[in-house]
Chains A and B, each alone.
Chain A
Amino acid sequence: MTALTLFLPDDAAAASVGADRVAAALDAAAKTRSLHLTLVRTGSRGLLWLEPLLEVERAGARVGFGPLEADDAASVLDAVLGDGAHAKAVGAVEEIPYFAKQTRSLFARCGVIDPLDLGGFRAAGGLAGWDAARAMAPADIVAAVTASGLRGRGGAGFPAGIKWNTVLAAAGEQKYVCCNADEGDSGTFADRMLMEGDPFTLLAGMAIAGRASGAREGYVYIRSEYPRAIAKMRAAVAVWERDNVSGEDDRGSLFSFHIRVGAGSYVCGEETSMLESLEGQRGEVRAKPPIPALKGLFGKPTVVNNVLTLASVPAILERGADWYASLGAGRSTGTQAFQLAGNVKRGGLVELPFGVALRELIDGYGGGTLSGRPVRAVQLGGPLGAYVSADQLDVAMGYESLAEIGAMLGHGGIVVFDDSVDMARQARFAMDFCAIESCGKCTPCRLGAVRGRETIDKILAGDDVDANLALIEDLCEVMTDGSLCAMGGLTPMPVLSAIKGWPEDFRKARKAAE
């Protein structure tokens, strides 16, 4: 019997376009060919428009076939066993320009390795960062992370080293590391991809954060909408603990993990709301101060970081803070996982140093819109982020450069809309979403969003448009200044950016009436 190893993602996005059906068809086709097929289910490379993307090793490189359908299974197997020619052959995957031009560091292993093969992970140096950290004093780890310039990838961009230092300096035996895997922003999927494709890197990052801050227990809060990521993370923790990768001392394991599942609440991605949820409470936002670094989970000092922030750390300890700081632009150091989404031809994950132009991402990588129509608006940074217009696409993608045009990076989501979009409806949705997802604790957010939605409905109906637009601006000011967290505080961002950038969309009804 001939033996053959193939690689196929079991990433949720790949599965959503048929990867599991392709896997079953490959198994069936292998049987009829007396082929001993080992199908390694990897994460995704992030070239999502090519999913399901099957790979096979040829002369040291992985060559791909995609996007596959179940019906392609037999012919692809024949191609792999033969000369490799196939209508869906895409050549060496790492030479596809979309991939070749990226700086894959955080996502270097994603889509390549078997996500749960700890032996392979170790052999490939995946644990080097954790091994280095174990030999370092906590303050030295914090110093390295601070020097790297790593900033939080969850949205706010706060320097990770400063946060860790606060927790390290806080008194108390009991501290926690909480990984925010709530990833609620539409247009984002990088946390999910990493958890599904390279979960040990996240576990290593959390263990390092624990060692640096004095915490020996970690929680991962994963949204319930991500069943595959939850299963993969649970399995990864089981493997990690079975092999005692954390190590132990006389107090027990140096670092242990809990996986917790959210329950369909966007606001639970806000860190204090997440902490409430982890304690089994309603996900209501806490007033700050006290900050979670001092009084976090169960009232103890707590590091709260996003998946990508924590997963960036092992490489920093392995390759050095200088290496990390040398990537990027200004105070936006390292690489960023940009996520191309919405109406875009080649959607996927693009990891690059900060500073790349938005246009290069959308046109160069994304190939423009899926519909082929012109780009009209792009929402950056999720539902609380601004809409930028087609003439702002030359902006460099970094924290500071985006702030200059009144936009924000958030978690790196880029949602492209073509010219069929109605921006007044998008503004209405922003208010609607806030009304649906507000935790209800503060009035500006809870009531402001409902009033905002009603007022935009009046505008959409052509009712006293000027007065109602003025009302929206006042309301947005109240929400911005008076909300307890960025849920109500930033909802005005998409709303006002839509009014400012596309005023004509708010006057259509009146025009029609005239």
Chain B
Amino acid sequence: MAVAPASDAAEAARAACAAHANAPDALIEILHDVQAALGCVPKDAVPVIAEAINRSRAEVHGVVSFYHDFRSEPAGRVVVKLCRAEACQAVGCEALAQEAEKRLGVAFGETSMDGRVTLEAVYCLGDCALGPAALIGDELHGRLTAEKLEQLVKEAGA
């Protein structure tokens, strides 16, 4: 997905703010909505949000940059969030993580050159009795192996 044109970003931002009655305390909800619409929170959205909810650009930017969820660039077609927290470590997620980088051809925190897949580390998905776990798109998967992971990423459309 390419970065949305500035006009789209502005429109999505305004719509998200309006949906939350331009309430300044709803900023995180607004950012979630913008990211759902555009795949990221583009720079162009920040001043529009700031104006709509009556907060400074610096403040809005500060919030966007604080939270791991918000990205400034769109992700690949399929986003893989592999859990690398302790309970998954106990069942070998670090070896799986290395293998995932190899098989998917992408390093953690990055999107593959062809835009197919983004690989990210997360710390706990609440599937701690059935690890290693990952979110692939919106779907949670447990008891993962490298083979299963590769297969699921393919099935998800990468």
Q: Does A13 belong to the interface (CB within 8 Å)?
A: yes
CB closest residue in chain A, given B122 = A225
Interface residues of A in 399-422 (CB under 8 A from B): 413, 415-418, 421
Interface size for chain B: under 10, 10 to 19, 20 to 34, or 35 or more residues? 35 or more
* Contact present for A415 and B90 (CB under 8 Å): yes
Question: A16 touching B130 by the CB < 8 A rule?
Answer: yes
Please determine whether B127 and A264 come into contact, CB atoms closer than 8 angstroms.
Answer: no
Is A187 an interface residue when CB atoms closer than 8 A count as contact?
yes
In the complex formed, the residue of B with least CB distance to A48 is: B129
Rounded to whole Å, the gap between the CB of A219 and the closest CB of chain B is: 10
Interface centre among A13, A16, A226, A281 (most CB of B within 10 A): A16
Is B96 engaged at the interface, CB distance under 8 Å to the other chain?
no
When the two chains form their complex, are residues A341 and B32 in contact, meaning their CB atoms are under 8 A apart?
A: no
Q: Which residue of B lies closest to A416 (CB)?
A: B90
Residues A429 and B32 in contact, CB atoms below 8 Å apart = no
Q: Count of A residues near B, CB < 8 Å?
A: 60
Q: Considering only CB atoms, which chain B residue lies closest to A347 in the complex? A: B129
Stretch at the interface among B67-75, B98-106, B111-119: B67-75
In the complex, chain B residues 109-146 whose Cβ is within 8 Å of any chain A Cβ: 122-131, 133, 135, 138-143
B126 CB contacts on chain A under 8 angstroms: 12-13, 183, 188-189, 192, 225-226
For residue A260, which residues in chain B have a CB less than 8 angstroms away from its CB?
28-29
Distance of A339 Cα from B87 Cα, bound (Å): 11
Residue B12 is within 8 A (CB to CB) of chain A in the complex: no
Given contacts A184-B123, A187-B86, A264-B69, contact A343 B91 (CB under 8 A): yes
Smallest beta-carbon distance A417→chain B, Å? 5
A483 within 8 A of partner (CB)? no
Query: Which of chain A's residues have a CB closer than 8 A to the CB of B46?
Result: none
Name the A residues within 8 Å of B89 (CB-CB). 342, 417, 426, 429
Interface string of B19-46 (1 = CB under 8 A from A): 0000111111101100000000000000
Pairwise interchain contact A186-B85, C-beta atoms closer than 8 A: yes
In the bound complex, residues from chain B placing their C-beta under 8 Å from that of A437 are: 123
- The answer to whether A265 and B68 touch across the interface, beta carbons within 8 angstroms, is yes
Given A280-B25, A280-B26, A281-B63, A225 contacting B125 (CB threshold 8 A): yes
Residues of B participating in the A interface, judged by any CB pair closer than 8 Å: 23-29, 31-32, 53, 62-63, 66-70, 83, 85-91, 122-131, 133, 135, 138-143
4 closest Cβ pairs, A-B complex: A347-B129, A342-B90, A280-B27, A186-B85
Binding site for B on A (CB under 8 A): 12-13, 15-17, 48-49, 51, 183-189, 192, 224-228, 260-266, 277-284, 298, 339-344, 347-348, 370, 379, 383, 413, 415-418, 421, 426, 429, 433, 436-437, 439
Of the A-B pairs whose beta carbons lie under 8 Å apart in the complex, a sample of 29, sorted by A's number, is A12-B126, A12-B140, A15-B140, A17-B143, A187-B87, A188-B124, A226-B126, A260-B29, A261-B32, A262-B67, A263-B31, A263-B68, A264-B122, A277-B28, A280-B63, A281-B63, A282-B62, A340-B129, A341-B128, A341-B131, A342-B90, A343-B90, A379-B86, A383-B85, A413-B87, A417-B90, A418-B90, A436-B123, A439-B66
